[in-house]
Amino acid sequence: MNNLQTILVAVFLAFFAFAVLIFSGMIKVDKPKGAVGNISIWGTFPSAFVRDSIDAINAQNSQLSLNYSYKDISTYQQDLVEAFANGKGPDVFMVTPDMIQRNNNFTYRIPYASYPEKLFTDSFVDGANIYLDKEGIIALPIIIDPIVLYYNKDILSNEGIVKPPQSWDQLFQLNGSLTKRQNDGTINQSMIALGQYENINNAKDILASLLIQNDDLIVQNNGAEYVSVLNTNQYNLSISPVETVLKFFLEFSNPLDIAYSWNRSLPNSFDMFTGGKSALYLGRASELFKIQSTNPNLSFDVSIIPQIKDFKIRRTYGEIYGLAINKRSTNLASALQVAGALSTGDGVKNISIGSSLPPASRAILSSDKPSGAGSNFLSVFFDSALISRSWADPNESKSNLIFRDLIENILSNNLSVGEAIVKAGGQLEILLKNVN
């Protein structure tokens, strides 16, 4: 063994030992006192969301300087690619599941030898397992933005409805009261926006929620690569999960169906709800303040999204944000400590408070669940975070087109349901093989 090899082995062993100490708890990652140097962090959260956490870590470590850069979500991926290509990428960068594959070549996998998989699964909600693969941990999860059900309290009260629907089948019973139509069929008030795509906010996330509730994971890592499982039927049901979901979803835009409550001529679903003309709205937790600011006089509340009747396991779709580490960082050990500090303890708690979104940390979800006056929204967000699941979307904008075409091909009768599913599954498979 030559001198260079000896040095490299020594460095590796030192880092390995250091990582073991971090994740065994002997070195507290929420107070990374051993971290040194300048660590750059990029993300799509406004600086105000992370300021307290960044300031606290900087104050505790005189030899460490964290610098957070807010990036526009519309150009974030391209900004990362260009920075990494020029050797100027951040040490730590925020990711969502749709960024996993596109940033594979830039991401340092935290080995299970230094961060055991059991420790990860004990520390974070089940949905965070999206950041695990055979090589190690892709990112340390921080915050979850789940799909929830917002409801207009006045509309429900006027119809004598005490609480929002808990299961999807209740929508069929409620539609006669909650959807108001003129004699010519024009919808003046809608129960809920389902059955179309273009004028429904979060349409893909809503479909993902329904698919996940029906055990369709959309995309799966088979150990070697990510593959489409959209059109699988693992339990050999008479109707596949995706067919069941599409049949249910499309009923709400069929004028001949008792569930008819939405059509393509209506305004955007967000505008309908904030305008007081829709009883129910499926939206992200992060939309809360936008709803409040758009119509301060709107009387509304929130609940977990409806579930499959008599199904014991609850699920919703959630955007799970994580912190990944640049594999070419010149300060890998400190970057690792910083990511750990921001995903646990006071670090993630402060980010959760700053963003008003639930953390991925089991410890914070269990010990700091909101209570008391004004906590109704956050309490539901916390409960929804626990049941959130995501999927390895290969490209958010391109997959959005696939799901849009899936719905439009059926609505326009261009393809049968079966043909549309096969086409969408094939397009998704191609997208997975050509991630960019």
What is residue 369's predicted lDDT score, i.e. its pLDDT?
A: 75
* Class of domain 146-317+394-433 (CATH, top level): alpha beta
* Average pLDDT value for the chain: 92
Query: What does the alpha-carbon distance between residue 13 and residue 9 come to, in Å, rounded to a whole number?
Result: 6
Sign, Cα dihedral of 129, 135, 337, 100: negative
Per-residue pLDDT for 105 more than 60?
Answer: yes
Per-residue pLDDT for 82 more than 90?
Answer: yes
What is residue 372's predicted lDDT score, i.e. its pLDDT?
A: 66
User: H or E stretch including 354?
Assistant: helix 345-355
DSSP 392: -
Grouping H, G, I as helix, E, B as strand and the rest as coil, residue 174 is helix
For the chain, give the percent of residues with pLDDT over 70: 91
Confidence of residue 219 (pLDDT cuts 50, 70, 90): very high
* Rg, Å, the chain Cα set: 23
Q: Residue 315: exposed, middle, or buried by beta-carbon count in 10 A (0-12, 13-18, 19+)?
A: buried
Which has more pLDDT, 206 or 18? 206
70's torsion region: left (phi>0), alpha (psi -120 to 50) or beta?
beta
Per-residue pLDDT for 162 more than 60?
Answer: yes
Which has more pLDDT, 302 or 369? 302
Confidence of residue 368 (pLDDT cuts 50, 70, 90): confident
What is residue 367's predicted lDDT score, i.e. its pLDDT?
A: 85
What is residue 135's predicted lDDT score, i.e. its pLDDT?
A: 94
Query: What does the alpha-carbon distance between residue 317 and residue 387 come to, in Å, rounded to a whole number?
Result: 8
Per-residue pLDDT for 11 more than 80?
Answer: no
Confidence of residue 374 (pLDDT cuts 50, 70, 90): low
Domain ranges of the chain: 27-145+319-389, 146-317+394-433
Q: Residue for token digits 């290969």?
A: 394
DSSP 306: P
Query: What does the alpha-carbon distance between residue 267 and residue 96 come to, in Å, rounded to a whole number?
Result: 29
Confidence of residue 96 (pLDDT cuts 50, 70, 90): very high
What is residue 20's predicted lDDT score, i.e. its pLDDT?
A: 45
For the chain, give the percent of residues with pLDDT over 90: 84
Confidence of residue 28 (pLDDT cuts 50, 70, 90): very low
Q: How many helices (H) and strands (E) does the chain have?
A: 16, 14
**The two domains 27-145+319-389 and 146-317+394-433 share their CATH topology (first three levels equal):** yes
Identity of the residue numbered 347: G
Q: Are 364 and 72 in contact (CB under 8 A)?
A: no
Per-residue pLDDT for 26 more than 80?
Answer: no
What is residue 233's predicted lDDT score, i.e. its pLDDT?
A: 87
What is residue 18's predicted lDDT score, i.e. its pLDDT?
A: 44
Residues 6+ apart with CB under 8 A from 234: 215
User: H or E stretch including 38?
Assistant: strand 37-43
Average pLDDT over residues 79-92: 97
Average pLDDT over residues 343-369: 93
Confidence of residue 31 (pLDDT cuts 50, 70, 90): low
What is residue 10's predicted lDDT score, i.e. its pLDDT?
A: 38
Backbone dihedral angles phi then psi of residue 281, each to the nearest 5 degrees = -140, 125
User: H or E stretch including 16?
Assistant: helix 3-24
Query: What burial letters (b/e) apply to 361-397, b meaning 16+ CB within 10 Å?
Result: bbebbeebeeeeeeeebbbbbbbbbbbbbbbbbbbbe
Average pLDDT over residues 112-117: 94
Average pLDDT over residues 141-165: 98
Q: Are 245 and 207 in contact (CB under 8 A)?
A: yes
Q: Residue 172: CA atoms inside 13 Å, Cβ hemisphere, count? A: 11
Per-residue pLDDT for 373 more than 90?
Answer: no
Structure tokens at 307: 């579930």
What is residue 4's predicted lDDT score, i.e. its pLDDT?
A: 37
366-369 long-range contacts, CB within 8 A, separation 24+: none
Q: Which of 392, 336, 323, 343 has the alpha carbon at shortest distance from 110?
A: 336
Q: Are 319 and 337 in contact (CB under 8 A)?
A: no
Query: What does the alpha-carbon distance between residue 371 and residue 358 come to, in Å, rounded to a whole number?
Result: 14
Q: What is the pTM of this model?
A: 0.92
Per-residue pLDDT for 25 more than 60?
Answer: no
Per-residue pLDDT for 349 more than 80?
Answer: yes
Q: Are 173 and 161 in contact (CB under 8 A)?
A: no
What is residue 412's predicted lDDT score, i.e. its pLDDT?
A: 96
The DSSP result for 141-174, as a single string, is EEEEEEEEEEEEHHHHHHTT--S--SBTTHHHHH
Worst-scoring range by mean pLDDT, 26-30, 32-36, 338-342? 26-30
Query: What does the alpha-carbon distance between residue 320 and residue 97 come to, in Å, rounded to a whole number?
Result: 7
Average pLDDT over residues 174-197: 96
Please write the tens of the pLDDT for every residue from 239-295: 999 999 999 999 999 999 999 999 999 999 999 999 999 999 999 999 999 999 999
Per-residue pLDDT for 1 more than 50?
Answer: no
* Class of domain 27-145+319-389 (CATH, top level): alpha beta
Query: What does the alpha-carbon distance between residue 133 and residue 226 come to, in Å, rounded to a whole number?
Result: 11
DSSP 305: P
Which has more pLDDT, 298 or 35? 298
Which has more pLDDT, 173 or 18? 173
Query: What does the alpha-carbon distance between residue 265 and residue 372 come to, in Å, rounded to a whole number?
Result: 42
